Amino acid sequence: MVARATGMKGDSRVGIGMTSARTRERLVQRLREQGISNPLVLEQIRNVPRHLFVDEALATRAYEDTALPIGYGQTISQPYVVARMTEALLENATPGKVLEIGTGCGYQTAVLAPLVRFIYSVERINALLDRARARFKELRISNVHLRHGDGFQGWPMYAPYDAILMAAAPLTVPRALIDQLAPGGRLVAPVGPEGRQQLVRITKRGDELHTENLGAVSFVPLVQGLS
Ligand code: SAH
């Protein structure tokens, strides 16, 4: 698939059918039926224009509850999974500083951004990062800091983080990320090999890690090195 290198000014997709309130409301209703209950999260799913995060050819499918390709072998996460992870991250706490691994097209980041103070987001594919940066500017999202880097290392400069969200699956959670989690902080991540991943939430309590299993998921793998 050819990557869209341009911004969204004058975008013909704005104002056509798939951006309609009804289409988005259907998606919100579906997520509610699947158990998403945090009203702030549902409000964000309703508000964030997902069609602006995918290739024009796929925009008509933007409000289906499905992952879609965003180029470079990567995908925009399924809305249900974005909502579930966001809800798990926010449950009983409002994190101030969040580290995100795998910015991708920036959709998950955009959903989370108004619900926390700052997001520090790391992406290994520079071209995706550039496009995400342009979208955040367009959508006036200003509390997100982006870095072209390898998520295995986290982003030590701004650590510790109240919460860490991973959008790509490691086989085991990298030690560097656990180290960058604040006391009482939580990490939400898909963990495991392709086809056998589980979404986990790890909470740091003193020297102990409390792990909860949130169910089976399917994510792209966390890969080492930059591109
Ligand atoms: N959050 C995105 C989905 C991202 S897909 C959304 O809302 O749609 C996962 C992303 O993780 C991809 O863009 C991939 O390039 C990135 N990724 C994979 N391994 C990584 C690593 N080691 N460090 C940083 N990003 C990584």
CB atoms within 10 A of CB 76: 23
**pLDDT value at residue 19:** 62
Whose Cα sits closest to atom 13 in ligand 1? Answer: 104
**Higher pLDDT, residue 111 or 3:** 111
Q: Is 124 in the pocket of ligand 1 (CB under 6 A)?
A: yes
User: Binning pLDDT at 50, 70 and 90, where does residue 21 land?
Assistant: confident
Asked if the model's pLDDT at residue 101 lies above 90, the reply is yes
The tens digit of pLDDT for each residue in 50-92 reads 999 999 999 999 999 999 999 999 999 999 999 999 999 999 9
Domains of the chain: 66-217 (3.40.50.150)
For residue range 146-197, what is the model confidence (pLDDT) as tens digits?
Answer: 999 999 999 999 999 999 999 999 999 999 999 999 999 999 999 999 999 9
Statement: residue 118 has pLDDT above 80: yes
Report whether residue 174 contacts ligand 1, using a CB cutoff of 6 Å.
no
Residue 11 pLDDT > 70, yes or no? Answer: no
Token pair 């699947």 is at which residue? 34
pLDDT computed for residue 9 by the predictor: 43
| Atom of ligand 1 lying closest to residue 103 CA | 1
Q: Which residues pair with 189 in a beta bridge?
A: 200
Please answer whether residues 210 and 202 qualify as being in contact, where contact means their C-beta atoms are separated by less than 8 angstroms. Answer: yes
Considering only CA atoms, which of 125, 121, 103 is closest in space to residue 163? 121
Does residue 47 carry a pLDDT above 80?
yes
The answer to whether residue 17 scores a pLDDT higher than 60 is no
> What is the reported pTM?
0.92
| Nearest ligand 1 atom, CA 67 | 8
